[in-house]
Amino acid sequence: MIILKDSEENIKKAAEVIKKGGLVAFPTETVYGLGADATNPEAVAKIFEAKERPYFDPLIVHIANKADILKVAQSPDRRTEFLIERFWPGPLTVILKKRENIPDIVTSGLETVAVRMPSHETALSLIRESSTVVAAPSANKFSSLSPTTARHVFEQLGNAVDFILDGGQCLVGIESTIVKIEEDSIKLLRPGGIPKEAIEDCLSLEVVEMQQHLKVEAPGQLDYHYSPQKPVVLVDKIPVDDNNAGFLFFTKPSFNIPLDRSFILSADGDLREAAANLFLALHFLDSLDIKRIYAQRLPEKGLGLAIMDRLKKASMKFKNFS
């Protein structure tokens, strides 16, 4: 395993690894991805092995030009085209009918494929230099916390990955929004970096949240995704007198808090800043010598919907097993 700054030269080296069927972890604007040549089924199989991810959980294929969508999928419908025009490159993933050259292992045998054009320059250069399209889930062990720094990747995957490109901290910090457009509805399969409201504004249509149906639509969206090792408890008011707990505050509280066991997502309640810090905060709190993490609920509007989705899933793990 090599870990190097994302210089032009190192991106070229990483692209060689992808071309040869290896695994490269790379920064995107959302979270770090674990990439392999999406047209090479053996290379893609290594992603599942490294992450210990079940094969029924399909991957997102990343492209570096809007036009390359046709290398992966059938022509998008008009509404999907609108969304792509407005939000690509950026944290939006669309579900389309797949082309035959995309192997079944990428889509878990589904007829559809998830496609996204990231906005991070390193991600774009890596894909271009690889001369292919790149399948990439988040670069963490299955169901664990997503990585927003190269160090997070190293800690979870270590030698299971051939090359880590270090591009610093991810700016959006939360995964892409996944939408599926059907004849009569627009489905939000996963809330993420593009707010649901922005998609509704763009199309002048209502977007339907698919929480209940996620297992059918996006098999990977198990209830206990994005989990730290420590139990996460969602609360309205943080019980700061619990000496065995760490605390995740949305905004700066007006009372004294144990600073060494607390993380404030955004002092003045900015949801963009809160999203960018979310996984960093959970990685930090999870590393402390504490028994549980209390996380403060925040409004489920704009990016708050995606942040709360991740926090709810993080808290589910122990609800299910305790």
Binding site for Mg ion (CB under 5 A): 138
Q: How far is CA 215 from the centre of its chain?
A: 17
Instruction: For residue 231, give every residue at least 6 positions away whose Cβ sits within 8 Å of its Cβ, in sequence order, or none.
Output: 291, 292, 293, 315, 317, 318, 322
Shortest gap between Cβ of 203 and Mg ion (angstroms)?
Answer: 26
What does 95 bind: Mg ion, ligand TXA, none (CB cut-off 5 to 8 Å by kind)? Answer: ligand TXA
CA distance 55 to 61: 15
Reduced to 3 states (helix: H, G, I; strand: E, B; else coil), residue 255 is: coil
Min CB(170)–Mg ion separation in Å: 13
Partner interacting with residue 234 (select from ligand TXA, Mg ion, none; CB below 5-8 Å by kind) = none
Angle at 21 between CA 101 and CA 73, to 5 degrees: 20
Least distance (Å) from ligand TXA to the CB of residue 302?
17
Closer residue to ligand TXA (CB): 146 or 296: 146
Nearer to ligand TXA, 138 or 262 (CB): 138
50 makes contact, choosing from ligand TXA, Mg ion, none, with CB < 5 to 8 Å by partner type, with: none
Element holding 51 (H helix, E strand) = helix 41-51
Residue closer to ligand TXA by CB (options 168, 239) is 168
| Measured distance between the N- and C-terminal CA atoms of the chain, rounded to whole angstroms | 37
Confirm if 193 and 170 have CB atoms less than 8 A apart: no
For Mg ion, the nearest residue by Cβ is 138
Helices and strands counted in the chain (H then E): 11, 15
Query: Which of Mg ion, ligand TXA, none does residue 220 bind (CB under 5 to 8 Å by kind)?
Result: ligand TXA
- Judged by beta carbon distances under 5 to 8 A according to partner kind, the member of Mg ion, ligand TXA, none in contact with residue 293 is none
CB of 93 to ligand TXA, least distance (A): 5
Instruction: Give CA–CA dist 77/15, Å, rounded.
Output: 32
**Measured from the CB of residue 167, what is the shortest distance to Mg ion in angstroms?**
18
Picked from Mg ion, ligand TXA, none, the partner binding residue 315 (CB below 5 to 8 A depending on kind) is none
Contact assessment for residue 185 and residue 192, using Cβ atoms and an 8 Å cutoff: no
Question: By C-beta, is 79 or 292 nearer to ligand TXA?
Answer: 79
CB 101 within 8 A of CB 39: yes
75 versus 252: smaller Cβ distance to ligand TXA: 75
Write down the least CB distance from residue 311 to ligand TXA, Å: 16
Q: Which is nearer to Mg ion, 174 or 203 (CB)?
A: 174
Residue 247 φ/ψ, nearest 5 degrees = -130, 130
317 exposure class (CB count in 10 Å sphere: 0-12, 13-18, 19+): buried
Grouping H, G, I as helix, E, B as strand and the rest as coil, residue 233 is strand
Residues lying near ligand TXA in the complex (CB under 6 A): 28, 30-31, 33, 57-60, 91, 93, 95, 107, 110, 112-114, 116, 118, 136-138, 175-176, 178, 189, 217-221
Q: In whole angstroms, what is the distance from residue 64 CA to residue 57 CA?
A: 23
Shortest Å, Cβ 313 to ligand TXA: 11
Q: Quick one: how far is CA 29 from the chain centroid?
A: 10
In this structure, the number of other CB atoms found within 10 A of the CB of residue 27 comes to 29
Measured from the CB atom, the residue of 122 and 138 that comes closer to Mg ion is 138
For ligand TXA, give the closer residue by CB, 112 or 169: 112
Strand partners, 95: 114
CB 238, min distance to ligand TXA, A: 28
